[in-house]
Chain A
Amino acid sequence: ILNVEQSPQSLHVQEGDSTNFTCSFPSSNFYALHWYRWETAKSPEALFVMTLNGDEKKKGRISATLNTKEGYSYLYIKGSQPEDSATYLCASNSGGSNYKLTFGKGTLLTVNP
């Protein structure tokens, strides 16, 4: 079983703060790294899919970077807003099976107004 680890497990920030989370994954046989945003009582929503070492993706105030050689990805949120409160999941399909995504347990972000 692939190990995808996310840190921190939870995070509380004030509105306007910038923040970042980490996802680590096995670097062997890497195919892709996914980030999802999951609001309470909803279903996960895709943010980014990254495949190349050094990839950087951006969507509004959210951006992500990828280092496939060392097996980590960072997700950044600039100027956090209360509506950014959610669980952020990363998932990887490295390790020999490009069909199967293995998800981390997520980082729960709470943005206080």
Chain B
Amino acid sequence: DAGITQSPRHKVTETGTPVTLRCHQTENHRYMYWYRQDPGHGLRLIHYSYGVKDTDKGEVSDGYSVSRSKTEDFLLTLESATSSQTSVYFCAISRTVDNQPQHFGDGTRLSIL
């Protein structure tokens, strides 16, 4: 299995609080991604990174920010969490974008009350 660790695995917090999710990889892959999974929507890309300090927006980036200060860590921050951000969040990594698959972490279940 690809070495991807997401933390925390579960979190319950209140509306308006800041939340940071961490994705840590030991594979030295260049590309990292954050997705959210919601019923009826499948996996939707929030943000992605194509290198250290190189990030870009995905399909559903409003309300989220990311940072990648080193190859192995990709952080997803909800500056002021809202109930609509209750979801399961998956991190993924890939070596290339052309012909290599993405490898997924185990997910973080986030509930915002």
- How far, in whole Å, are A31 and B99 apart by their CA atoms in the complex? 8
Residues from 68 to 113 in A contacting B, C-beta threshold 8 Å: 89, 91, 93, 98-106
Interface stretch among B13-21, B41-49, B69-77, B78-86? B41-49
Q: Is the CB of A99 within 8 A of B43?
A: no
Q: Is the CB of B97 within 8 A of A43?
A: no
- How far, in whole Å, are A34 and B103 apart by their CA atoms in the complex? 12
- How far, in whole Å, are A103 and B99 apart by their CA atoms in the complex? 16
Q: Does A11 contact B (CB under 8 A)?
A: no
A1, A49, A99: the one contacting B101 at CB < 8 Å is: A49
Count of inter-chain pairs, beta carbons less than 8 A: 57
Q: Does A13 contact B (CB under 8 A)?
A: no
Please, how many residues of chain A have a CB less than 8 angstroms from a CB on the other chain?
24
Please, how many residues of chain B have a CB less than 8 angstroms from a CB on the other chain?
26
* Given A43-B104, A100-B58, A49:B45 Cβ within 8 A: no
- Nearest neighbor of A87 in chain B, beta-carbon distance: B42
* Given A93-B97, A99-B48, A105:B41 Cβ within 8 A: yes
A42 smallest CB distance to B (angstroms):
8
- How far, in whole Å, are A1 and B99 apart by their CA atoms in the complex? 21
B31, B41, B100: the one contacting A49 at CB < 8 Å is: B100
Q: Is the CB of B98 within 8 A of A46?
A: no
Chain A residues closer than 8 Å to B62, beta-carbon distance: none
- Nearest neighbor of A35 in chain B, beta-carbon distance: B101
Q: Does B50 contact A (CB under 8 A)?
A: yes
- How far, in whole Å, are A26 and B103 apart by their CA atoms in the complex? 24
Q: Does A51 contact B (CB under 8 A)?
A: yes
Chain B residues closer than 8 Å to A99, beta-carbon distance: 31, 48, 50, 56, 97
